Amino acid sequence: MKAVWLRNPKEVTEEEYAKFYHSLAKDFGDDKPMTWSHFSAEGDVEFKALLFVPPKAPHDLYESYYNANKSNLKLYVRRVFISDEFDDLLPKYLSFLMGIVDSDTLPLNVSREMLQQHSSLKTIKKKLIRKALDMIRKLAEEDPDEYSNKEKTDDEKSAMEEKKGQYAKFWNEFGKSVKLGIIEDATNRNRLAKLLRFESSKSDGKLVSLDEYISRMKSGQKDIFYLTGSSKEQLEKSPFLEQLTKKNYEVIYFTDPVDEYLMQYLMDYEDKKFQNVSKEGLKLGKDSKLKDLKESFKELTDWWKKALDTEGIDSVKISNRLHNTPCVVVTSKYGWSSNMEKIMQAQTLSDASKQAYMRGKRVLEINPRHPIIKELRDKVAQDSDSEGLKQTARLVYQTALMESGFNLPDPKDFASSIYRSVQKSLDLSPDAAVEEEEEVEEPEVEEKESAKAEEPEHEQYDKDEL
């Protein structure tokens, strides 16, 4: 009987594909592969291939991502097994795929090293990547959770129901591989971007695609808004979302550490640029009062910038992204976000000098409609030399720095400022001293001999009684 990959795909049943997968993967469980692609290539390079998406990711798939050398593809030449260690057949980000490649074009009587340099391998690799990405795209298209069933027949709807939730399952298992592909494979970056899924401020816990996001963009919206952080719950409380939420803009939530690296490579999609809403450059339409507000708060912004001279703040500006929060700290467009700073600081071999450079400029943005900011403006106009006012402004800045996701450079100084503020609210004198603790003499420790003599004797058990 012919090998499965040599047969006509129309003649192979699902059960036969599943049985062959379990044999290939040495996995004899009940889980079927998520999907597969069985195809032939003709022309200058001829080969047959059968690719599978496993039901689960290996437990060490990403732990050994850059160190693992073993391929999950077996290479045959004219039905003769050659090797399963041809890493060049698929890029690393698709290394989770399992399958067979059988070529009639590659030579048989050459060493493995010479075969690896054969020009036909590049052609095979290119076609395998295209077919693999098409296979994953079709998995999404066949999932009723991803696309509408309105134009499907009853039989088609019934068949699709069996694949309900399949792409979400794929994304949970292998989504990081898609992101790594966008980082590593510039040629297929746009194809891979179509496979991205994420939660957003309007997704109600469901995964959505970039195409779905664009279909919901407001009229006149030019950028794709996103925010990075450690969790969805944290991002939902972010002050950076206040005006965006109020004006009904949708914001993508990126919560995987690799997302920070991803967005350094994914600059745009379908002619729409990406905008991190925690960075400079956020545009939400023109504010007719902005010029007057800048003039009204100019004395405060100039004074505050000078008061924070040692904090590394580049400027103090009027914000267009705040509603309920007094102020936030934003970074320059090409600098690290607060989330990226934390990721880099956690690296064992991180370079402190590089961190200082990549941190970029920080800007304190103030909410001109907030009572705290308006009161600060009035106080500065009355007495700009007040040390108490400078301490208050510094405390407000440190609080904004922390709420914006940054680590405080001096937590002890911040804590001292909080305690001084608490003392003032309790009408305590700034010079109020801490009460001294009374010294109490500890009793002498008895000698070890007397303590040992007082120890009770333990009952001895006869071994025969146990």
| In contact, 80 and 107? CB cutoff 8 Å | no
Task: Give the right CATH number for 4-141 from 2.40.10.10, 1.10.540.10, 3.30.1310.10, 3.30.230.80.
Answer: 3.30.230.80
Binding residues: 112
Residue type, 59: H
Torsion of CA 382, 313, 238, 214, to 10 degrees: 120
- The distance from CA 193 to its chain's CA centroid, rounded to whole angstroms, is 14
User: What dihedral angle (degrees, nearest 10) is formed by the CA atoms of 26, 30, 35, 38?
Assistant: 50
The whole-angstrom separation of Cα 417 and Cα 41 is 71
Q: Please check whether residue 91 is in contact with residue 78, taking contact to mean a CB–CB distance below 8 angstroms.
A: no
Domains 198-276 and 291-425 share a fold: no
Tell me the CATH number for domain 198-276.
3.40.50.11260
Q: Which residue is associated with the tokens 């267009």?
A: 320
Residue with the bigger pLDDT between 439 and 401: it is 401
What's the CATH code, domain 291-425? Answer: 1.20.120.790
Residues 146, 206: Cα–Cα separation, whole Å = 10
Q: What is the mean pLDDT of residues 85-114?
A: 86
Give CA–CA dist 311/318, Å, rounded. Answer: 19
What is the full DSSP assignment across 54-92? -SS--TTTTTTTTT----SEEEEETTEEEES--GGGS-G
Domain ranges of the chain: 4-141, 198-276, 291-425
pTM: 0.86
pLDDT digits (tens, 9 = 90+) for 420-447: 889 988 999 888 888 888 887 777 766 5
> What does each C-alpha distance from 390 to 5, 303, 413 come to in angstroms?
75, 9, 14
pLDDT greater than 50 at residue 465? no
Residues annotated in a binding site for ATP:
112
Q: What is the pLDDT of residues 248-288, one digit of tens each?
A: 999 999 999 999 999 999 999 999 999 999 999 999 988 77
